[in-house]
Amino acid sequence: MSQQSLDTVFQEWHDNQAIAEQMIPLIGRLYRHNNVVTTMFGRSLFNRSVIRIIKDHRFVRKVEGTELHVKDTFPLVQAMMELNLGPAHVDVGKLGVMWKKQGGGDPVAFMREQLAQIVDAHDPKAVGEAQDVVLYGFGRIGRILARVLVEKAGGGNLLRLRAIVVRGRGDITKDLEKRASLLRRDSVHGPFDGTISVDAEARTLTANGNVIKVIYADSPAEVDYTQYGISNAVVVDNTGMWRDEEGLGQHLACKGVSKAVLTAPGKGDIKNIVYGINHADISEDDHIISAASCTTNAIVPVLKVLNDEYGIEHGHVETVHAYTNDQNLIDNYHKGDRRGRSAPLNMVLTETGAAKAVAKALPELSGKLTGNAIRVPTPNVSMAILNLTLNREVEAATLNDYLRGMSLDSPFQKQIDYVDSPEVVSTDFVGNRHAGIVDAKATIGNGRHAVLYVWYDNEFGYSCQVIRMLQHISSVNFVKLPQALN
């Protein structure tokens, strides 16, 4: 390659950086002023770096087989600024591909036609009523939920993290500093994107301008949320201490609480919800709801679309799961079989209720699945292996084409992601916001027998599913454009 060619490539990169830099304030204004979330084939562009925006454009090459550059989408983002848009999620990546395929033209006219549903629909008075959220417990899931809630604050999201409830730890000042430090730094998910300050006298953490009250209590019965100006709150119980209606009902007995959400499988008649699959089953009378498990959230969307298209006769789910705080660092007593053995040193065979839990979200698969689990020495990101017998024959390529389509143009695009790379490993999916990611290279199709490998960030991806359910029960719903094809 000549020096002139090298200089041209380098200049193109700098030009793309300059355009992405110009896009960032426009994306931010659309979010904060119009409540419009811009995405690139499902990946949010809001609050992203210049490099991340360019990488997300490069991603389009993998899913569409065509290049999409920031110079292709920048005119569309500029056009959106002129249309006085109402609240929506707008995939400028998909619109950019459409615009390129039709040969370009007037970007304002194109976007006015494609976004007709929300053009001139901005109403600054129709902000809606904010929903107070309380996190009961501040462990792994609690802190990730806090990160996502803080990230999404404003822009019409309406979910406000008002408080966290933890047990007393003696010296309150030291305890608050420790809570702040754990939120600020994470060995798996990296540093918190923003600033966190502590007010020991007020017993608050302030994260990116969000003032979060820290309430010390050993049981729900000790808390009166109205004392802190909190009302009609949704309490998200991350402790796992109570999984039935009686136990979780303690939250509803507290003043200022309207609903309780469990971040674990619920027992008894509690509805186990996998957002995107059966969230429509939630009624106004449901005051206690379970967000099921991370594994159930990962596999149910894939099982749903497979059963719809091919029919599932029976199957087995094997979960290869990262170790959790429930296990021991070194060999010690544990009430569960095998879980007392050192988590960082062993693969630990254990049970999973995910296969049976599938039936609570997909009754049509009741009694058709078995399951088991292996805990492995990694701190995060797990995999579910779906070994299925279908009602009709299928080849791997056909199966992958179908699942790829579901990940891009269906109502399940937030739940199902798709990767087709021979090099990916578990750490590549840390921070992935989908419920599960189909690994196309590993798919097997042989007659009516199919084997699928589904990755999932059992912490972050699951937490995003919980947030989506919180938005739903709080009536935070957005129009999604362009409309899904399936």
Active-site residue set = 294
State the DSSP H helix or E strand holding residue 456, giving kind and residue range, or none if neither: strand 449-456
Tokens of 155: 């822009």
For residue 105, which phi and psi values (nearest 5 degrees)?
Answer: 110, -160
CB 138, CB 102: distance < 8 Å: no
Pairwise CA distance, residues 214 & 179, whole Å:
9
Terminal alpha carbon distance of the chain: 45
CB 211, CB 204: distance < 8 Å: yes
CB 452, CB 388: distance < 8 Å: yes
Residue 447's Cβ-side half-sphere holds a number of Cα atoms within 13 Å equal to 2
CB 453, CB 388: distance < 8 Å: no
| Residues 299-315: b if buried by 16+ CB within 10 A, e if exposed | bbbbbbbbbebbebeeb
Please state, in angstroms and as integers, the Cα–Cα distance from residue 74 to each residue in 22, 96, 257, following that order: 8, 9, 44
